Amino acid sequence: MEGAKLLRPHSPEAGRIDPKVIRQAADWWARLREDSTDADRRRFETWRLARPEHDLAWQRLGALTRDVALGVAEAGSSVAGHTLRQAPLIQSRRNAMRWMVAAAGLGLGAWAVGERGAIRRLTADLRTATGERRALTLPDGTLLELNTGSAVDLRYTGHQRELVLLEGEILVTTGQDRQGRPFTVRTRSGVVTPVGTRFLVRDLDEGRRMRVAVLEGAVDVRGLDPADAPRRVPAGGQAEFSAGGGFIAGPLEPATSAWLNGMLIANEMPLSEFLYELGRYRPGRIGCSSAAGKLRVVGAFPLADSDKVLAMLQEVLPVSVRRYTRYWVSVGLA
């Protein structure tokens, strides 16, 4: 499992940072990732240790970005959109990197205040960054695997075992608990109770929907209201459930669990949707013109090399891929 490293981010609630310090941190970020020397690294350490605010700015950038574009994405769509609109004006890769990180840092204040849910996700018990996957065994023997960009809180007490899926997607293989405590997975739109099973749960549309796919056993799905009647999903089935009570069940689709084998499967999938799914596994943003987005994609593609996938698309579809930087990609008709 490549790059399986748990990201434990620094909380953005730790204080306001002067925009000048953000720009300085952005400048160091770019310099150290291009052509830095030993002398540059020594000067950076001198700068970082000179004031607590410098170190906090650096920690915050590292936690929110893991790489530059992730910081823009976390900072909010308005900041990211403004950054992308400036792409033609940026003359060098280094300046682009500085600009992106500065945009993320300057947008952080409003984002942190306005998105309490985002703060919860950044301080989650378990978290993976973009493109990462993480597998671990919980205290009761349950096996948990987090897909890219996922966050989970653990609520294990003397009376219950509960996972709270804050964002992303997980695979759960439940273990036998010696204390006989019930096991549940809680999302923003419903609760999943397994019946000795192996299953996937994905948070969709920022919590407005969730998807459950059952590989073994069965699960019961219900709304957040304890009075809601549960609906069972058997092995080989999947269902989407909304906070408003919508429920659509059907057979398990191969594409739903393909990420477990490092693949993205498309069967007549609109290109816009395909690029959204691919974008979950690479930092930055993949844009798509409305005309190109209507094209259909068929095939199986490796998630480990998204640049290779983009190159493959140009071979099988009448599209061109334009790269402003490594982190800004736009796909349009050729």
pLDDT per residue as tens digits for the range 59-91: 766 654 444 344 334 334 443 344 333 333 333
One domain, residues 131 and 87: no
Name the percent of the chain in helix, strand, coil, to the closest 5.
35, 30, 30
CATH code: domain of residue 229:
2.60.120.1440
Give the CA distances from residue 187 to residues 21, 35, 80, 256, 315, in Å, rounded to whole numbers and listed in that order.
37, 44, 27, 18, 40
Angle between helices 52-65 and 93-114 (to 10 degrees): 90
Strand locations in 91-208 (E): 126-127, 134-137, 143-146, 151-156, 161-167, 169-173, 183-186, 191-204
The answer to the question of residue 14 being in a domain is no
One domain, residues 92 and 153: no
Q: Which domain does 168 fall in, by range?
A: 126-256
Task: List, in order, residues 6 or more apart from 20 with CB less than 8 Å away.
Answer: none
Is the separation of the CB atoms in 39 and 173 below 8 Å?
no
**Domain stops at, among 72, 93, 122:** 122
One domain, residues 158 and 111: no
Provide the pLDDT for residue 279.
Answer: 93
Return per-residue pLDDT of the chain as tens, 334 residues: 333 333 233 333 345 567 677 777 777 776 676 566 888 888 888 998 988 888 887 776 665 444 434 433 433 444 334 433 333 333 344 444 444 444 444 444 433 333 444 555 567 889 888 889 999 999 899 999 999 999 999 999 989 999 999 999 999 999 888 888 999 999 988 999 999 889 999 999 877 889 999 999 999 999 888 788 899 999 999 999 987 778 899 999 999 999 999 999 998 999 999 999 999 999 888 999 999 999 999 999 999 999 999 999 998 899 999 998 878 899 999 9
- Report the alpha-carbon distance of residue 18 to residue 22 in Å, rounded: 7
One domain, residues 179 and 278: no
One domain, residues 144 and 241: yes
The answer to the question of residue 219 being in a domain is yes
Strand 296-302 and strand 263-270: the pairing is: antiparallel
Total domain count, the chain: 3
The answer to the question of residue 12 being in a domain is no
Provide the pLDDT for residue 227.
Answer: 81
Provide the pLDDT for residue 246.
Answer: 84
At which residue do the structure tokens 């273990």 appear?
175
The answer to the question of residue 9 being in a domain is no
Quick count: other Cβ atoms within 10 Å of Cβ 147? Answer: 20
Provide the pLDDT for residue 233.
Answer: 96
Secondary structure of residue 224 in the 3-state scheme: coil
One domain, residues 188 and 171: yes
Encode 48-80: b = buried (16+ Cβ within 10 Å), e = exposed. Answer: beeeebbebbbbbbbbbbbbbbbbbbbbbeebb
Task: List, in order, residues 6 or more apart from 333 with CB less than 8 Å away.
Answer: 289, 291, 292, 318, 319, 320
Which residues on neighbouring strands pair with residue 98, listed in sequence order? Answer: none
Provide the pLDDT for residue 317.
Answer: 92
Is the separation of the CB atoms in 310 and 331 below 8 Å?
yes
Which residues on neighbouring strands pair with residue 219, listed in sequence order? Answer: 194, 233
Backbone angles phi, psi at 197, to 5 degrees: -145, 175
One domain, residues 81 and 150: no
One domain, residues 215 and 315: no
One domain, residues 160 and 222: yes
Quick count: other Cβ atoms within 10 Å of Cβ 3? Answer: 12
pTM metric for this prediction: 0.66
**Domain stops at, among 256, 272, 306:** 256
